[in-house]
Amino acid sequence: MTTITLLGTGLLGAAIGQRLLKVGFTLNVWNRNPARCAVLLEAGAQQLHHPGQGLEASSVVVTVLRDGPVTAEIVRSLGSLGGRCIVPMGTMGISESVALAEQVRLQGGSYLEAPVLGSRPEALKGSLLVMAGGESKVFDAQLPLLRQLASEPRLMGAVGTGAASKLALNQLIASLTHGYSLALRLVQASGLDVDRFMEVLRLSALYAPTVDKKLVRMMSHQYGDPNFSTSLLRKDLLLFLREARLAGVNATALDGLASLLEGAVDTDLDAGDYSALHELTDGR
């Protein structure tokens, strides 16, 4: 089975690594904090002491790092790629991904952006939504890998289209969660029973399954054990706003939401599930 280098073993990266080990890939792993590789080492992965260690044994380098600049920095540290494919699966800006693709080309590698929708549970089951961007021949070459993580990996188009898809979806997560929080606040303030409101919402075209998932957290004010944190949601929303402006899109209506999310900085809400933004819509 193919040997893969996995750079970044946070919540999502570790789950992707566990899935790849489960289906038989040989895995070399690295993280800035070596302790975060422990689960994967117990499952049979080999730990790297620096990102480029043992690169000659890997044909693919998967990165699941915090953002575009960090990903570019780590990939640059690999030096000559010798034809290896770099597959970033973390969220980054469209312009960042396009620049990284050129960087990888100059380092002698191929590039396929493959951001995902979903988190730890979906990664472990191999049911992530993979939105790839790049050349079709590179996508086809990586399908055996991608099909272990998603039942239907999709090639969205050229480099940048996968990143655009991911940012657009994460913006919808932020906007939907915010809108639902506002609705819930007004419903409760009016004295209307939340369950009666939910009965109507579930029958409408406005309903999304995530609403019920987040209702439990919002009503109980429990945001621990997150799959996607408030801090990451804020980061991605700010990235969406930056890319929207570069594209000439008027997204100023989202500035208020970004400002609202700043209220979580340096609080416990930031490390909690992103539905913790519900605490920020309490205007009392």
Angle between helices 194-203 and 209-220 (to 10 degrees): 170
**pLDDT, tens digit only, all 284 positions of the chain:** 689 999 999 999 999 999 999 999 999 999 999 999 999 999 999 999 999 998 999 999 999 999 999 999 999 999 999 999 999 999 999 999 999 999 999 999 999 999 999 999 999 999 999 999 999 999 999 999 999 999 899 999 999 999 999 999 999 999 999 999 999 999 999 999 999 999 999 999 999 999 999 999 999 999 999 999 999 999 999 999 999 999 999 999 999 999 999 999 999 999 999 999 999 999 87
pLDDT at residue 283, rounded to an integer: 85
pLDDT at residue 166, rounded to an integer: 97
Residue that terminates a domain, selected from 132, 159, 186: 159
Q: Are residues 204 and 72 in the same domain?
A: no
Q: Are residues 181 and 263 in the same domain?
A: yes
Burial of 183 (0-12, 13-18, 19+ CB in 10 A): middle
Give SS3 for 279.
helix
Q: Are residues 76 and 97 in the same domain?
A: yes
Q: Are residues 125 and 26 in the same domain?
A: yes
Domain count, the chain: 2
Find out whether 89 and 115 touch, Cβ atoms under 8 Å.
yes
Q: Are residues 131 and 188 in the same domain?
A: no
pLDDT at residue 6, rounded to an integer: 98
Residue that terminates a domain, selected from 113, 144, 159: 159
Q: Are residues 9 and 47 in the same domain?
A: yes
pLDDT at residue 58, rounded to an integer: 95
- Exposure of 14 in the CB half-sphere (CA atoms within 13 A): 17
| H or E, element range at 4 | strand 3-7
pLDDT at residue 1, rounded to an integer: 67
Containing structural domain, residue 60: 3-159
Q: Are residues 139 and 226 in the same domain?
A: no
Residue that terminates a domain, selected from 128, 159, 190: 159
